[in-house]
């Protein structure tokens, strides 16, 4: 629905604002460059490509794959940030009101981004999961609510790409062909990734297919590749450790003889290490789920993130199977 609010009038007002920025910024930039290096904000002002602002780093990567060099893509939250309960700063709100397009995941993930509606009411927003049939969270207080982590399924991520292509083509019709081409080639990469992950996980025997994480963020991946999932809490917005949940998880790990348990990089792994200790499982490492790593880390893109996670799953759940058989 939201992308439809993109009207010629809004576009005009944005272009006008952008032009004003350039007119003001350019003489300042020249003055500054005479004195030496150019401050960052002025460098950005001199770049007149439309600004696409995403709510988190994974969406920024996907947006860059589609946009190529035609648009400036930025993420509000930085690598490693907790995104469910994020508190936007005054600078974030200012950034949002100066953007040309806001990209969000939806399915209740970034309720904090609703605050942009007040400060960036005239900026169009595209919700990448719109129209998608989500998986629902089971049990606990969140029962019946949609699970927002749909990007964790490479095939569902293709739907995100379609929405980005549409939104960018409306924002910048002259680039439409490029966005379509980039989108198609990225969708092909996601399709290949799906086959690659399926192959890598095929070595894990049926009885070892229980994926234990801190957050219940693996429902889509688990469904795609035939795993059961168990977790300490359904979503990070509510990541208090309840003794009841912890005891239940320890019981499950013991009963199913799960060889390894995991956590995620954006939350503390303390409780999960305790589950490992109490159940006799190994702590198998931390997944990237809600955030990419920094550029030189193991998960600078969504494709790298999936490969990193699946490597950990395989090491944790398949190696022990080989040992015990
Ligand atoms: Zn999450």
Q: pLDDT at position 26, please?
A: 41
pLDDT band at residue 68 under the 50/70/90 scheme: very high
CATH number of 201-324: 3.40.50.1980
Q: pLDDT at position 216, please?
A: 94
Q: pLDDT at position 142, please?
A: 77
Distance 6 CA to ligand 1 centre (A): 29
Lowest mean per-residue pLDDT among 37-41, 136-140, 225-229: 37-41
More confident residue, 237 or 210: 210
Sorted by where each begins, the domain ranges of the chain are 2-131+146-196, 201-324
Q: pLDDT at position 16, please?
A: 46
Distance 169 CA to ligand 1 centre (A): 29
Q: pLDDT at position 239, please?
A: 58
Q: pLDDT at position 164, please?
A: 98
Q: pLDDT at position 306, please?
A: 98
Q: pLDDT at position 169, please?
A: 98
pLDDT band at residue 118 under the 50/70/90 scheme: confident
Q: pLDDT at position 120, please?
A: 87
Same fold for the pair 2-131+146-196 and 201-324: yes
Distance 12 CA to ligand 1 centre (A): 37
Distance 288 CA to ligand 1 centre (A): 10
User: What b-and-e string marks burial along 166-205, b requiring 16 or more CB atoms within 10 Å of the CB?
Assistant: bbbbbbbeebeebbbebbeebbebbeebbeebeebbeebe
Q: pLDDT at position 20, please?
A: 43
* Average pLDDT taken over every residue of the chain: 86
Distance 36 CA to ligand 1 centre (A): 43
Distance 124 CA to ligand 1 centre (A): 24
Q: Which helix (H) or strand (E) holds 284?
A: strand 282-287
Q: Could you write out the DSSP letters of every residue in 55-104?
A: SSHHHHHHHHHHHTTSSEEEESSPTT---TT----HHHHHHHHH-SEEEE
pLDDT at 13 over 60: no
Distance 289 CA to ligand 1 centre (A): 7
Distance 7 CA to ligand 1 centre (A): 33
pTM for the predicted model, two decimal places: 0.85
Distance 111 CA to ligand 1 centre (A): 13
pLDDT at 71 over 70: yes
Distance 267 CA to ligand 1 centre (A): 10
Model confidence pLDDT, tens digit, residues 92-105: 999 999 999 999 99
pLDDT at 135 over 80: yes
Q: pLDDT at position 45, please?
A: 63
**Is 247 within 8 Å of 230 (Cβ atoms)?**
no
More confident residue, 93 or 24: 93
Q: pLDDT at position 22, please?
A: 43
Distance 84 CA to ligand 1 centre (A): 6
Give, in words, the CATH class of 2-131+146-196. alpha beta
Q: How far apart are CA 139 and CA 229, in angstroms?
A: 13
- The tokens for 87 are 């508190």
Protein residues placing their CB within 5 Å of the ion ligand 1: 217, 236, 290
């Amino acid at each position: 629905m939201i992308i439809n609010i993109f009207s010629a009038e809004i576009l005009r007002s944005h272009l006008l604002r952008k032009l004003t920025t350039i007119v003001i910024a350019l003489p300042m930039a020249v003055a500054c460059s005479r004195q030496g290096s150019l401050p960052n904000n002025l460098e950005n002002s001199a770049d007149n490509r439309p600004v696409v602002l995403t709510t988190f780093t994974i969406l920024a990567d996907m947006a860059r794959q589609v946009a190529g060099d035609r648009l400036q893509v930025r993420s509000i939250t930085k690598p490693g940030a907790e995104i469910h309960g994020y508190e936007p700063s005054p600078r974030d709100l200012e950034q949002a009101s100066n953007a040309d397009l806001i990209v969000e995941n939806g399915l209740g993930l970034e309720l904090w981004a609703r605050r942009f509606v007040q400060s960036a009411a005239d900026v169009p927003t595209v919700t990448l999961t719109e129209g998608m049939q989500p998986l629902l969270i089971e049990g606990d207080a969140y029962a019946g609510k949609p699970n927002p982590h749909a990007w964790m399924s490479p095939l569902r991520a293709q739907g995100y790409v379609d929405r980005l292509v549409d939104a960018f083509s409306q924002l910048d019709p002259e680039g439409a062909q490029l966005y379509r081409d980039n989108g198609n080639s990225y969708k092909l990469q996601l399709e290949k990734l799906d086959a690659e992950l399926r192959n890598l996980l095929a070595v894990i025997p049926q009885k070892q297919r229980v994926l234990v994480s801190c957050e219940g963020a693996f429902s889509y991946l688990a469904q795609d590749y035939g795993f059961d999932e168990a977790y300490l809490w359904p979503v990070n917005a509510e990541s208090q450790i309840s003794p009841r949940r912890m005891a239940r998880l320890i019981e499950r790990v013991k009963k199913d003889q799960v060889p390894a348990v995991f956590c995620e990089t954006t939350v503390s792994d303390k409780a999960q290490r305790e589950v490992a200790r109490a159940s006799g499982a190994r702590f198998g490492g931390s997944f990237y789920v809600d955030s990419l790593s920094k550029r030189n880390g193991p998960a600078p893109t969504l494709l790298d993130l999936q490969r990193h996670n699946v490597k950990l799953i395989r090491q944790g759940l398949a190696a022990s199977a080989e040992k015990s058989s």
